[in-house]
A and B are shown apart, each in its own frame.
Chain A
Amino acid sequence: MRTLVPFLLVLLAVYRSAAQQTLDEKVQNLIDLTSRTSVVKFNMDKWKNLVRMQPRNYSMVVMFTALSPGVNCPICKPAYEEFMIVANSHRYTSSESDRRKVFFGIVDYEDAPQIFQQMNLNTAPILYHFGQKHQGSKKKPEQMDFQRQGFDADAIGRFVADQTEVHIRVIRPPNYTAPVVIALFVSLLLGMLYLKRNSLDFLLNRTMWGCVCLAITFIFMSGQMWNHIRGPPFMINNPQTKEPSFIHGSTQFQLIAETYIVAVLYGLIALGFIFVNEAADMTKDKKKKEKNPNSILSLISVPANTLAIIGLVFICIFFSFLLSVFRSKYRGYPYSFLFA
Chain B
Amino acid sequence: MTSTASSRSSRVGATTLLTIVILALAWFVGFASRLFAIVRFESIIHEFDPWFNYRATHHMVQHGFYKFLNWFDERAWYPLGRIVGGTVYPGLMVTSGLIHWILDSLNFHVHIREVCVFLAPTFSGLTAIATYFLTKELWSPGAGLFAACFIAISPGYTSRSVAGSYDNEGIAIFALQFTYFLWVKSLKTGSIMWASMCALSYFYMVSAWGGYVFIINLIPLHALALIIMGRYSSRLFVSYTSFYCLATILSMQVPFVGFQPVRTSEHMPAFGVFGILQIVALMHYARNRITRQQFMTLFVGGLTILGGLAIVVYFALVWGGYVAPFSGRFYSLWDTGYAKIHIPIIASVSEHQPTTWVSFFFDLHITAAVFPVGLWYCIKQVNDERVFIILYAVSAVYFAGVMVRLMLTLTPAVCVLAGIGFSYTFEKYLKDEETKERASSTASNAKDEKLYDKAAKSVKSKNTSDGEEAQVSSNVRTIIAIILVIFLLMFVVHATYVTSNAYSHPSVVLQSSTQNGDRIIMDDFREAYHWLRENTPEDARVMSWWDYGYQIAGMANRTTLVDNNTWNNSHIALVGKAMSSNESAAYEIMTELDVDYILVIFGGVIGYSGDDINKFLWMVRIAQGEHPKDIREENYFTASGEYSTGAGASETMLNCLMYKMSYYRFGETRVGYNHQNGYDRTRGYEIGKKDITLEYIEEAYTTENWLVRIYKRKKLPNRPVVKETTIPIKGKKVSQGKNKKGVIRSAKA
CB <8 Å contact, B400 and A319: no
Identify A252's interface contact among B356, B370, B371, B397, CB under 8 A: B356
Asked whether B19 is an interface residue with its Cβ less than 8 Å from the other chain, the reply is no
Inter-chain contact A277/B493, CB cutoff 8 Å: no
A124 interface residue (CB < 8 Å to B) = no
CB distance from A155 to the nearest CB of B (A): 11
B358 touches A282 (CB 8 A): no
Rounded to whole angstroms, the CA-CA distance of A88 and B494 in the bound complex is: 57
Chain B contacts with A in 354-394, Cβ cutoff 8 A:
354-362, 366, 368-373, 375-377, 379-380, 382, 390, 393-394
Question: Which of A207, A266, A276, A279 contacts B368, CB < 8 Å?
Answer: A266
Please judge, given known A-B contacts A220-B397, A286-B470, A309-B476, whether A280 and B379 are in contact too, CB under 8 Å.
Answer: no
B376 touches A214 (CB 8 A): yes
Given contacts A220-B398, A223-B401, A277-B428, contact A286 B466 (CB under 8 A): yes
Interface membership of B469, Cβ < 8 A: yes
Q: Is A107 an interface residue (CB 8 A)?
A: no
> Once the chains bind, are B462 and A283 in contact (CB under 8 Å)?
yes
Contact of A274 (CB < 8 Å), options: B371, B376, B469, B494: B376
Q: Among the listed B358, B370, B379, B487, which residue makes an inter-chain contact with A330, where contact means beta carbons less than 8 Å apart? A: B358
Q: Which of B380, B421, B470 contacts A304 (CB 8 A)?
A: B470
Q: A273 and B370 in contact (CB under 8 A), knowing A308-B480, A309-B476?
A: yes
B609 contacts the other chain (Cβ, under 8 Å)?
A: no
Task: Please give the number of chain B residues whose Cβ is less than 8 angstroms from any Cβ of chain A in the complex.
Answer: 59
B609 smallest CB distance to A (angstroms): 14
Q: How far is the CA of A145 from the CA of B421 in the complex (A)?
A: 54
- Whether B425 and A276, one on each chain, are in contact in the complex, defined by CB atoms closer than 8 angstroms, is yes
- In Å, the complex CA distance between A224 and B377 comes to 25
Given contacts A282-B470, A337-B490, contact A273 B336 (CB under 8 A): no
Best-buried of B358, B373, B380, B393 by chain A (most CB within 10 Å) = B358
Q: Are B483 and A283 in contact (CB under 8 A)?
A: no
User: In this complex, what residue of B is CB-closest to A218?
Assistant: B372
Give complex CA distance A210, B473 in Å: 29
Question: Is A329 a contact partner of B480 (Cβ separation < 8 A)?
Answer: no
Q: A209 to B390, alpha carbons, bound, how many Å?
A: 11
- Contact in complex: B429, A280 (CB < 8 Å): yes
**Contact (Cβ within 8 A) B369 A270:** yes
CB distance from A209 to the nearest CB of B (A): 6
Complex interface residues of chain A between 326 and 340 (CB less than 8 A to chain B): 326, 329-330, 333-335, 337
A262's closest neighbor in chain B, by CB?
B357
A residues less than 8 Å from B497 (CB atoms): 333-335
Flag whether A111 is at the interface (Cβ < 8 A): no
Is B459 a contact partner of A281 (Cβ separation < 8 A)?
A: yes
The verdict on B458 contacting chain A, using a C-beta distance below 8 Å, is: yes
Question: B641 interface residue, CB < 8 Å from A?
Answer: yes
Task: Say yes or no: A280 contacts B360, CB within 8 Å.
Answer: no
**Contact assessment for B373 and A254 in the assembled complex, using a CB-CB cutoff below 8 Å:** no
User: Knowing A225-B401, A312-B483 touch, does A329 contact B358 (C-beta < 8 A)?
Assistant: yes
Could you tell me if A312 and B479 are in contact, using CB atoms closer than 8 angstroms? yes
Task: Give Cα A213–Cα B463 distance, bound, in whole angstroms.
Answer: 30
Q: Is the CB of A283 within 8 A of B394?
A: no
A263 to chain B, nearest CB (A): 8
Q: How far is the CA of A209 from the CA of B355 in the complex (A)?
A: 25
Known contacts A217-B375, A220-B397, A284-B463; decide if A225 and B357 are in contact (CB<8 Å): no
Instruction: List residues of A (200-219) whose CB comes within 8 Å of B's CBs.
Output: 206-207, 209-210, 213-214, 216-218
Q: For residue A218, which residues in chain B have a CB less than 8 angstroms away from its CB?
A: 372
Q: With an 8 A cutoff between CB atoms, is A73 at the interface?
A: no
- Nearest-neighbour CB distance to chain B for A204, whole angstroms, equals 9
Q: Is B511 located at the chain interface by the 8 A CB criterion?
A: no
Write the nearest CB–CB distance from B719 to chain A, whole angstroms.
Answer: 41
Whole-angstrom distance between the alpha carbons of A309 and B467 in the complex?
19
* In contact, B421 and A221 (Cβ under 8 angstroms): no
With contacts A217-B372, A273-B373, A282-B472 known, is A326 near B361, CB below 8 A? Answer: yes
Given A230-B354, A254-B357, A335-B490, do A206 and B375 touch, yes or no (CB 8 Å)?
A: no
B52 contacts partner chain A, Cβ-Cβ < 8 Å = no
Whether A280 contacts B472 by the Cβ 8 Å rule is yes
Interface residues of A in 212-245 (CB under 8 A from B): 213-214, 216-218, 220-226, 228-230
A70 within 8 A of B: no
**Are B372 and A214 in contact (CB-based, < 8 A)?**
yes
How many angstroms from the CA of A222 to the CA of B354 in the assembled complex?
12
**Interface presence of B187 (CB below 8 A):** no
* CB of B666 within 8 Å of the partner chain: no
CA of A258 to CA of B379, assembled, Å: 29
Most buried by A among B371, B480, B487: B480
Query: When chains A and B are docked, how far (Å) is the Cα of A123 from the Cα of B314?
Result: 54
Chain B residues numbered 314-363 whose CB sits less than 8 Å from any CB in chain A: 336-337, 341, 354-362
Q: In the bound complex, how far is the Cα of B364 from the Cα of A220, in angstroms? A: 14
Check if B401 sits within 8 Å of A226, measured CB to CB. Answer: yes
- The complex places the Cα of A330 from the Cα of B458 at a distance, in Å, of 45
* CB pair A322 B361 closer than 8 Å: yes
Whether B466 pairs with A206 at a CB distance below 8 angstroms is: no
A250-291 interface with B by 8 A CB criterion: 251-254, 258-259, 262, 266-267, 269-270, 273-274, 276-277, 279-284, 286-287
Nearest CB in chain B to that of A309: its residue: B476
Query: Are A273 and B490 interface neighbours, CB within 8 A?
Result: no
Q: Is A147 an interface residue (CB 8 A)?
A: yes
Residue from B356, B373, B490, B494 within 8 A of A223 (CB atoms)? B356
Most A CB within 10 A of own CB, among B369, B400, B428: B369
Q: Let me know if A220 and B400 touch, CB within 8 A.
A: yes
Residues of B449-504 contacting chain A, CB below 8 A = 458-459, 462-463, 466-467, 469-473, 476, 479-480, 483, 487, 490, 493-494, 497
Is A35 on the interface with B (CB-CB < 8 A)?
no
A287 and B466 form a contact (CB under 8 A): yes
Taking CB atoms, residues of chain A closer than 8 Å to B402 are 225
- Once bound together, how far apart are the Cα atoms of A326 and B336, in whole Å? 26
Known A304-B471, A326-B361, A335-B494; judge A206-B380 contact (CB<8 A).
yes
Let me know if B424 is at the binding interface, CB within 8 A. Answer: yes
A36 at the interface (CB under 8 A from B): no
A251 and B356: CB pair below 8 A? yes
Q: Which residues of A contact B462 (CB under 8 A)?
A: 283-284, 287
Q: Could you tell me which residues of chain B, from 393 to 439, have a CB within 8 Å of some CB in chain A?
A: 393-394, 397-398, 400-402, 421, 424-425, 428-429
Q: How far is the CA of A209 from the CA of B357 in the complex (A)?
A: 24
Please name the residue on chain A nearest to B421 by beta carbon.
A273
CA distance A326 to B361 in the complex (A): 8
Instruction: Report if A114 contacts B (CB, 8 A).
Output: no
**When chains A and B are docked, how far (Å) is the Cα of A335 from the Cα of B501?**
14
Residues from chain A with Cβ under 8 Å of B487 in the complex: 315, 319
Task: Count chain B CB atoms within 10 A of each CB in A217, A230, A259, A262 and give the residue with the most.
Answer: A217
A183 CB, min distance to chain B CBs, angstroms: 18
| Bound form: Cα–Cα A277–B366 in Å | 17
**Contact A216 B394, beta carbon cutoff 8 Å:** yes
Q: Give the chain B neighbours of A223 by CB distance below 8 A.
A: 354-358, 360, 401
* Chain A positions within 8 Å of B369 at CB level: 266, 269-270, 319, 322
Q: How far is the CB of B737 from chain A (nearest CB, A)?
A: 30
Residue among A218, A220, A262, A281 with max Cβ neighbours from chain B (10 Å): A220
Per CB-CB distance, the 6 closest pairs between chain A and chain B, nearest first, are A280-B428, A225-B401, A220-B401, A223-B357, A283-B466, A210-B379
28 chain-A/chain-B pairs, Cβ below 8 angstroms? A206-B380, A213-B394, A214-B376, A217-B375, A217-B394, A220-B401, A225-B401, A226-B354, A229-B354, A259-B357, A266-B372, A270-B376, A277-B424, A280-B425, A280-B428, A280-B459, A281-B428, A282-B472, A283-B471, A284-B458, A284-B459, A303-B470, A308-B480, A316-B483, A322-B361, A326-B361, A329-B358, A330-B358
Which A positions have Cβ atoms within 8 angstroms of B? 145, 147-148, 154, 206-207, 209-210, 213-214, 216-218, 220-226, 228-230, 251-254, 258-259, 262, 266-267, 269-270, 273-274, 276-277, 279-284, 286-287, 303-305, 308-309, 312, 315-316, 319, 322, 326, 329-330, 333-335, 337
Using A220-B397, A221-B360 as known contacts, list a sample of 5 further A-B pairs with CB atoms less than 8 Å apart, ordered by residue number in A: A145-B641, A206-B382, A213-B394, A220-B400, A304-B470
